[in-house]
């Protein structure tokens, strides 16, 4: 089982989408600045999480959330949670 997740920067207009088997550990790595891609946009909060049965399904969902339509939906989710 894998998880597809989306993080929103608390300081910048930046949303990151990723895939992992351990969401808590991954969020901690992002917020500690251990990931080069997200380090400039610290800190983050989790805005979306989705469980997938396997890596192949997870990769398809990750690609969707990284697409234009997916990112637009994530922005709406983020703005609703503010």
Tell me: the pLDDT tens digits for 36-80? 999 999 999 999 999 999 999 999 999 999 999 999 999 999 999
Structure letter (DSSP) for residue 21: S
Q: How far apart are CA 72 and CA 49, in angstroms?
A: 16
Q: What is the pLDDT at residue 71?
A: 97
Does 7 have pLDDT greater than 80? yes
3-state secondary structure of 80: helix
Rounded to two decimals, the pTM is 0.94
Q: What is the pLDDT at residue 81?
A: 77
Q: How far apart are CA 13 and CA 1, in angstroms?
A: 30
Q: In which order are the strands placed within the sheet that holds 15-20? A: 15-20, 2-9, 44-52
Does 13 have pLDDT greater than 80? yes
4-8 average pLDDT score: 98
Q: How far apart are CA 80 and CA 29, in angstroms?
A: 25
């Amino acid at each position: 089982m894998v998880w597809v997740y989306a993080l929103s920067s608390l300081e910048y207009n930046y949303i990151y989408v990723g895939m992992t088997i351990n969401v808590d550990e991954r969020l901690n790595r992002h917020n500690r600045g251990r990931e080069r891609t997200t380090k400039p946009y610290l800190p983050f909060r989790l805005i979306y999480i989705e469980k997938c049965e396997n890596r192949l399904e997870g990769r398809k969902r990750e690609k969707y959330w990284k697409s234009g339509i997916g990112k637009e939906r994530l922005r709406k989710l983020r703005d609703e949670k503010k």
